[in-house]
Amino acid sequence: MGADDRKRVTILGATGSIGVSTLDVIARHPDRYRIAALTAHGNVDRLEQQCLAFHPEQAVVRQASAAADLQRRLRARGLNTEVLAGPDALTAVAGDAGSDTVVAAIVGAAGLEPTLAAVRSGKRILLANKESLVMAGSLFMQAVREYGATLLPLDSEHNAVFQCLPPAFSPAHPFATGIRRVLLTASGGPFRQTSAEALAAVTPAEACAHPNWSMGRKISVDSATLMNKGLELIEACWLFGLPGEAVDVVVHPQSIIHSLVEYVDGSLLAQLGNPDMRTPIAHALAYPERIDSGVNGLDLVASGALQFERPDTERFPCLALAYQAHAAGGDACISLNAANEVAVDAFLAGGLRFTDIPRLIAEALERLGVESVVDLDDVVSRDRRARLVAQEVAGRW
């Protein structure tokens, strides 16, 4: 593959764990990929180092002052990367013709509009921003079809499901190829065996200490409450065209089996591997080919016994709340995601107990009710309203 034939990759959320892992994989294959643009929320120091290593044509940060600072630093090092600032620049870079592949790795609702811009440009989208589908699943998948974008899942669970599906599978007719259901695996997080009473005293530092995966603080807390798995089941329903009753969750503490697909003949197909995000990233980057990810092969003997448990929705109500929101339809999942982001922020700031996170979400959902969603303006307005309600609830506790 010549230099002119390399895939041009834009990474939205380059300084987070997914972005860093993606750049690690890309660095192993300079003959296949080059970086068109990198974006970050505010970690200018890390973004500077990434720019120096990968020489993107553009970089985007949130604040204009940070952009000016980064531009000065890069110019002093002889790099001509154009540095931009703000959400409009982020959306513009995501849809820019300078790239053909976009890694959507921004955490939370902030990733929706730039990811949609990439979809509307007909690009290859490597999706790690599950909130895009949680908030706007119908609109998002409609845009994928309308603009001819290619959507490949980066979450380890959804990528595992994708790898276990038959070549003829279509989300338009998910059961036509003999699929019975999908099973998403969950590690159970750091509090899998913690009593309900002890959960009330959990600290942010403890919640962010995931036993198997290296993730950002927000996703780590979501994993600890099982909300991450709730968001993933909603995402799976949209990605694979499945009803909620065809997506189950099983707790698998070792995180060796990343998810499974069950077929009507009784077969279960599973994707196994060491818990390292570089595996699904490499798969999606090169699909349908396979490339080295830098991850060591799985030693089954050393792995030992594999355990499986049913999730405990009494100690971890967030998973049940996600099922309920998906079943309710309309804007319920928008409200679920917004209230969860507010609750997690409050917990990380020390203003909320760990066990208050699902309580706040449940109260916000009850107050908000369910309304239909027609377009992206509806999504944005319902998200804003849900955050205000959730903040009001948090302020009273």
Q: Assign 214 a pLDDT band (cuts: 50, 70, 90).
A: low
Tokens of 5: 């034939």
Q: Mean pLDDT across the stretch 275-302?
A: 97
From the candidate CATH numbers 2.60.40.1510, 1.20.1300.10, 1.10.1740.10, 3.90.1150.10, the one assigned to the domain spanning 329-397: 1.10.1740.10
User: Taking 70 as the threshold, does the pLDDT of residue 367 lie above it?
Assistant: yes
CA distances from 116 to 89, 123, 136, 305 (A): 14, 10, 10, 42
Which CATH code is given to the segment(s) 3-154? 3.40.50.720
Residue among 40, 105, 136, 115 at smallest CA distance from 383? 136
Q: Which stretches does DSSP call E strand in 93-237? A: 101-104, 124-127, 150-153, 179-186
Whether the CA torsion 21, 136, 236, 119 is positive or negative: it is negative
Q: Summarize the confidence of residues 307-328 as an average pLDDT.
A: 96
Q: What is the pLDDT of residues 375-384, one digit of tens each?
A: 999 999 999 9
Amino acid identity for residue 205 in this structure: A
Asked whether the predicted pLDDT for residue 306 surpasses 90, the reply is: yes
> Residues 106-111: what's their mean pLDDT?
86
pLDDT digits (tens, 9 = 90+) for 14-29: 999 999 999 999 999 9
What does the block give as tokens for 395?
């302020």
Q: What pLDDT is recorded for position 36?
A: 98
pLDDT reported for residue 283: 98
Task: Name the residue ranges covered by the structural domains of the chain.
Answer: 3-154, 156-276+297-313, 329-397
- What lies within 8 Å, CB to CB, of 62 at 6+ separation is 40, 41, 42, 85, 86, 87
How much is the average pLDDT of 128-143? 94
Which residues lie below 8 Å from residue 386, measured CB to CB, with a gap of 6+? 331, 334, 335, 338, 339, 364, 368
What value does the mean pLDDT take over residues 154-177?
96
In the predicted structure, residue 3 carries a pLDDT above the cut 60: no
Q: Is the pLDDT of residue 2 over 70?
A: no
pLDDT of residue 4: 75
Residues 85-89, mean pLDDT to the nearest whole number: 96
Nearest in space to 282 (alpha carbons), one of 106, 122, 154, 157: 154
Mean pLDDT in residue range 133-138? 95
Burial of 31 (C-beta count, 10 Å sphere; 0-12/13-18/19+): exposed
pLDDT at 40: 96
